[in-house]
Amino acid sequence: MSLDEYFSTGPPHERPIFDAVMAELEAVGPVHLEPVSVGIFLKRAGSFAELRPMTNWVALSFSLPRKVTHPRIVRKPIPHGGRFFHVANLRTPEDFDRELRAWLTEAYLNTPD
């Protein structure tokens, strides 16, 4: 599925959040996008993050080699294979703040290319 096909059926708040996330990642390095029915997987050799649309927000999940405890992390980090999976909810592009940008960059840099 192409990005245009994917966004043609999504909620209107999803695209601006995706654009904010991608603007940050473009400065970090190449990202392979995999739009699927449940969201968009962000990959290098493997997935390092996902954007999943919900009714009122987009859930940004990302994998880090460490556990982050912060009010922006809305679910208990899940350990798996020496990494921790975190989730933050973004209602607007402005919710993708400095801390989330840093964690997403760290997730990217800690995923094999």
Rounded to whole angstroms, how far apart are CA atoms 79 and 59? 18
Is the predicted pLDDT of residue 61 greater than 90, yes or no?
A: yes
Residue 112: the pLDDT is 80
Task: Give the percent of the chain with pLDDT over 90.
Answer: 79
Within the chain, what is the greatest distance between any pair of CA atoms? 37
pTM for this predicted structure: 0.92
Rounded to whole angstroms, how far apart are CA atoms 66 and 41? 21
